Amino acid sequence: MSNLVAIAYDDVAEAQQVMVTFGELVKEHSLELADAVIVERQPDGKVKLHQPSTAAAGAAGGALWGGLIGLIFLMPLFGMAIGAASGAAAGAMSDVGADDKFMKTLGAKLEPGSAAVVVLVSGATPDKVLPAIEQ
């Protein structure tokens, strides 16, 4: 079961720093995230979502599979190129996790110039995660 967590901050720089901390916690295997987004309410009132790109991950996976298929047909470079292109396209078009409409509604409730970190947590070690984000 996943939990959706939203934490508001005074500015986008502070939210970005928390996202860096979350990235470190993921690398340490203290945190598992299904989605992570910074919701920014700009000074003019517009809401902007900062989401990590899934295209790069798709391209890497596609290149691997394309290369393996290319080896079967004795054309690994061609297979890798086709696989990378199709993987990047699939990664760019996939949107899983927290609903964008919900996050924009949440962003409209923030004060102009502030931001929130929205994460869909699929696993965590609370005694390691909580002290790290309280800093």
CATH of the domain at 128: 3.30.70
Residue 127's domain spans which residues? 1-52+97-135
Q: Residue 40's beta-bridge partner residues?
A: 48, 115
- Say whether pLDDT at 1 is over 60: yes
Asked whether residue 37 falls in the same domain as residue 73, the answer is no
What pLDDT, on the 0 to 100 scale, is given for residue 81?
52
Tokens at 118, concatenated: 């929205």
Asked whether residue 81 falls in the same domain as residue 102, the answer is no
**36, 4 in Cβ contact below 8 A?**
no
Classify burial at 41, counting beta carbons within 10 Å of its beta carbon; exposed 0-12, middle 13-18, buried 19 or more.
buried
What pLDDT, on the 0 to 100 scale, is given for residue 3?
85
What pLDDT, on the 0 to 100 scale, is given for residue 17?
92
- Say whether pLDDT at 19 is over 50: yes
Residue 29 Ramachandran class (φ > 0 left, ψ -120 to 50 alpha, else beta): left
How many Å apart are CA 117 and CA 35, to the nearest integer?
11
